[in-house]
Every structure is written in structure tokens, then in C-alpha cells.
């Protein structure tokens, strides 16, 4: 029973890792659509985003789970099977969308260069805020698996992976929610209403 619980936890962990990567992809597609494609289509893609974010990981985890089960039963091991390579398609697409969005932002900043003398600084700020949102930091170490990295490179990989993954949600919340003018305005209104009620 303990082994079964351990396997279930491992499957759930792999599913969550993949869901995280595919939700990065959903965020990237959504932002790209807002910047570029919103003019051409008014269609709501909410259901498609849900299938992509929650459903795509199942497509990878189920065969992985079957292969791991068969390998463990036949060879008695199976520890070498890993899922991270399934993250590669979403990470590659995210990187392409990221570069395309940066190109659009740069073009818009250059077009408004008279209004923004510091457009290079604004581009750098946009780049740094998009990195955690799209999970671009994952691309750096996607092919450097734990089995392939040794010595100082392994420590660097583990540090950056743990640090960025741990604070990613916090960074996204601060940059896209708490620092947002509209969110601040709504929170200020709610605070004023609360003060009036009490």
C-alpha cells in the first residue's frame, strides 16, 4: 500500500509539473492573441485553453505511467524513465511566442520613441516581466537532466530551478496583479467601501 501511494504521488507530481508547463503555454498564447490576434477574432477560446492546460498533460502522463509500470514489472527498475522531455514542446512554443511578443513590443516602443525616451529600459522591463509568466527560465535547463549534470553545474541547475519555481507564482502575482493599476484601483475602492461600512 505504501508503494502504491508512492507511485500515485509520483504520477500526480509529474501531472502537476506538466500542467504547470502547459499553463505557461496557455498564458503565452492568450497574451499573444491579445497583442496580435485580437483584431481578427472575437471568438472565446476559454474551453480550448482549459483542454490545453489540463488535458494535454494527461496525453503524456498516461503513456509514461504505462511504460513505467511495464518497465518496473519486467526489469525490476524503471527509475530511469522521466517526463521532463514532454515539457519540451510547450517550452519551445513559449520561447517562440516570447520572442515574437518582444518583437511586437520593440516595434511599438520604437514607434512611440518620442513619447518614451527610455524605450530600451521599457523593453528590458517587459522582457524581465515576461520571463516568469511564460516559464522561459525552464528553457535554460530543459535538456540538462539530473542524470546528465554533475559537479557545480548540477548545483547551479538545482538552485535556479528551485529558486525560480518557488517564487514564480509570487513574481507573477506581484507583477501582473498587485502592481496593476486597475487592481490597485479596485482594491482601493473595496477598502473605502469597507471603511464606510465599519
Note down the domain range covering 14: 1-112
Helices then strands, counting H and E runs in the chain, come out as 8, 0
101 and 126 together in one domain: no
54 and 97 together in one domain: yes
141 and 55 together in one domain: no
17 and 45 together in one domain: yes
69 and 137 together in one domain: no
How far is 30 from 148, CA to CA, in rounded Å?
34
Q: Rounded to whole angstroms, what are the CA distances from 14 to 8, 146, 191?
A: 10, 15, 41
Give the closest residue to 81 by CA, choosing from 147, 167, 162.
147
- In this structure, are residues 141 and 157 in contact, taking their beta carbons and an 8 Å threshold? yes
154 and 189 together in one domain: yes
pLDDT tens digits for range 117-171: 566 676 777 777 777 777 776 766 666 666 677 788 778 877 877 777 777 777 7
| Single pTM value for the model | 0.65
> Given the C-alpha cell 517526463, which residue does it identify?
83
Q: Which domain-ending residue is among 89, 112, 135?
A: 112
Q: Cell numbers of 185, please?
A: 484601483
Q: Which domain-ending residue is among 112, 146, 170?
A: 112
62 and 147 together in one domain: no
pLDDT in tens, the chain (198 residues): 677 888 888 888 888 888 888 888 888 888 788 777 655 555 678 888 889 889 988 988 888 888 888 877 655 444 444 555 566 677 778 888 888 888 887 787 777 766 555 666 767 777 777 777 777 767 666 666 666 777 887 788 778 777 777 777 777 777 767 777 888 888 889 889 988 887
Q: What is the DSSP letter of 174?
A: I
85 and 100 together in one domain: yes
Which domain CATH number covers 45? 1.20.1070.10
Amino acid at each position: 500500500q505504501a508503494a502504491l501511494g508512492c507511485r500515485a504521488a509520483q504520477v500526480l507530481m509529474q501531472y502537476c509539473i506538466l500542467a504547470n508547463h502547459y499553463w505557461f503555454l496557455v498564458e503565452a498564447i492568450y497574451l499573444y492573441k491579445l497583442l496580435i490576434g485580437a483584431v481578427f477574432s472575437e471568438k472565446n477560446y476559454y474551453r480550448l485553453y482549459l483542454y490545453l492546460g489540463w488535458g494535454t498533460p494527461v496525453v503524456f502522463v498516461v503513456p509514461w505511467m504505462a511504460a513505467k509500470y511495464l518497465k518496473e514489472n519486467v526489469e525490476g527498475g524503471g527509475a530511469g524513465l522521466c517526463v521532463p522531455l514532454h515539457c519540451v514542446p510547450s517550452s519551445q512554443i513559449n520561447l517562440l511566442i516570447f520572442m515574437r511578443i518582444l518583437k511586437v513590443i520593440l516595434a511599438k516602443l520604437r514607434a512611440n520613441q518620442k513619447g518614451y525616451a527610455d524605450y530600451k529600459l521599457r523593453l528590458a522591463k517587459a522582457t524581465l516581466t515576461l520571463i516568469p509568466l511564460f516559464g522561459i527560465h525552464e528553457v535554460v535547463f530543459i535538456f540538462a537532466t539530473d542524470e546528465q549534470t554533475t559537479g557545480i553545474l548540477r548545483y547551479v541547475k538545482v538552485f535556479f530551478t528551485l529558486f525560480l519555481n518557488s517564487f514564480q507564482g509570487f513574481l507573477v502575482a506581484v507583477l501582473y496583479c498587485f502592481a496593476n493599476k486597475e487592481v490597485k484601483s479596485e482594491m482601493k475602492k473595496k477598502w473605502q467601501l469597507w471603511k464606510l461600512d465599519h
